[in-house]
Amino acid sequence: MGDPFSNLKNSLSKDFEDLSFSEERKNAVRETIRRKQNHLELQYWKVETLKNILDSLQEEAKHGYDISTQLFRKNESSFKSNEGQIYILLHLLENKKIITSKWIEGKKYYSLTTKGKKYAASREHPDSKQLNSLKNFIEEASL
């Protein structure tokens, strides 16, 4: 007889027979991935939130903390328990070239790009139609 451990695989396989990565576990992985991926999509965020951020930048460039206090005053709740999330969204908006940023004295200031202004300028009538058009706009920008 050659290697006495050659049937080790059979022995192990038998012992591991009922040790299987369940469908529920796989789905848990998929769900986590989807959640992580969603944060990187504009569609994930509420249109109201996007609108509030663009609005807050209309007058002047602001840094992240300023934006978040302003949102807080508007009763924006998206970042309530997780303030760091706003930076994910700001980064995303920057990537989509809706806002741009500049470092001034150690702080990152965000401002609207021409693209961003284009929408923010038409905010005077914030009815549902407007919100829809923002959504369309964002989707367009996401392409």
Residue ranges in contact with other proteins by CB under 8 A: 4-6, 8-9, 11-22, 25-26, 28-30, 32-34, 36-37
Q: Give whichever of 8 and 104 is closer to other proteins, judged by the CB atom.
A: 8
CB of 73 to other proteins, least distance (A): 35
Q: Give whichever of 4 and 106 is closer to other proteins, judged by the CB atom.
A: 4
DSSP 80-110: SS-TTHHHHHHHHHHHTTSEEEEEETTEEEE
CB of 31 to other proteins, least distance (A): 10
Q: Give whichever of 18 and 105 is closer to other proteins, judged by the CB atom.
A: 18
Tokens at 24, concatenated: 């529920």
Tokens at 80, concatenated: 């309530």
Assess contact for 56 and 70: CB atoms under 8 A: yes
Q: Give whichever of 106 and 143 is closer to other proteins, judged by the CB atom.
A: 143
CB of 10 to other proteins, least distance (A): 9
**Rounded distance, CA 71 to CA 76, Å?**
5
CB of 114 to other proteins, least distance (A): 27
Q: Give whichever of 18 and 127 is closer to other proteins, judged by the CB atom.
A: 18
User: How buried is residue 6: exposed, middle or buried, by Cβ count under 10 Å (0-12/13-18/19+)?
Assistant: exposed
CB of 127 to other proteins, least distance (A): 34
Helix (H) or strand (E) holding 63: strand 62-63
